[in-house]
Structure 1
Amino acid sequence: METKILYFKIFEKKVEPIDYVNWACEMLENGFSSTSLNTLSSLSEPLNIFEVEDYFYRAVKEIDIQEPSHEYCAKYFIRYLLKQIIDDEFKAIDNAYEIYKVIREHFINDELNVWYEISEMIDDYQFGDNVMNITGKSLISSIVNEAKKQLKLNFLLN
C-alpha cells in the first residue's frame, strides 16, 4: 500500500485496518524503519482500528512523512488505476468505473469527462438495452486505449 493511496483511502473514509498494516510492511520493504512502523507491520487480525491508526500516525511522525493534499492523492489514485487497467485488462471495467467516481467527486476537467462517457458505456453494456451493441472486448479496448492516452498525456500530476 503506497502512502498516497493510503492517504486517499483515509480522506475518503474507506480505509480498513489491514491497509495500515500493508502500508507498514511496504514501507519496511522500501528501507524505512521506526519503532512504530515495526510494531504496526507486526500486527495481525483481528485488528483494532484505533490501535492501528495510533501506530500509523506515530510512524508517520517518526519517519517524517508530510501529509499530502486530498487532491494530490486523488490524482495519484487515478494514475494508479490507469496503470492497473493497462496491467490487468480483466479489471478494466471495475477500475474505469472507480476512476469515474473519483473524477465525479473531485475534478471538473474536460479531458477527464471521457470517463463519464465510459461509465455510460459500461452501464449500457451491463445493465441497459445495449443499443450501441457494445461488446465486452470493444469496451475493454476503449478503456485500455483511454488509460494509455491519459498516462501518456500525464496531466493528472501537473
Structure 2
Amino acid sequence: MTQKHQDRAERIIRVFNDSGLNQRQFSETIGVSQQLVSAVINFKKKPNEAILFGIIDHISFIDPIWLITGIGKYKNNSYLKPESSISLENQIQNIIEKHFEKLSLELNQKISNIEEYVKKTNAKNVLRRIDQDNSKLVPQLNKKESKKLRG
C-alpha cells in the first residue's frame, strides 16, 4: 500500500473511531461490507471509492477534500446523518411494515364492505321470507274465516 493510500486509511480510521460505532454498525451506516471496513482499517486493502463516498454521503461535516486528499481540516463534530443511521435491515423492515399497514387498512375496509353487503342482503332475504310467509297466511286465514262463517 502506498503512503497516499495509508494516509487515506488513517483518515478513515479517525472517522471510524470518532463515530463510536463498531465495524458492523459503521459498515451498515456507510453502505459497504464489514469486510471492506476491516481490511481498510487494518491496512490490508487500500480505501476505494465505495468507502470514501459512503462516508461522505452518510456522515455530516466530513470535508470530502480532507477525506480524499488530507488537505483541509477534519472537524471532530461529525455525526451520522439521521436518514442513514438506520441499518438496511431496519429500513427494509420499516418499508414492509408501512406496506403491511396499508394492506391491512385496505383489507379491513373490504371486509367491512362485505359485512355491510351481507347485512343488507340478509335483511332483504328476511323481508322476502316474511312477505312469502304472509302471502301464505292470508289464504289460510281466509279459509279459516270462511269455515267459521259457515259453521
For the criterion TM > 0.5, the same-fold answer is: no
Q: Shorter chain as normaliser: what TM range?
A: under 0.3
| Alignment TM-score, normalising by the size of structure 2 | 0.25
Higher relative contact order (CA 8 A, sep 6+): 1
TM-score (norm: length of structure 1) = 0.24
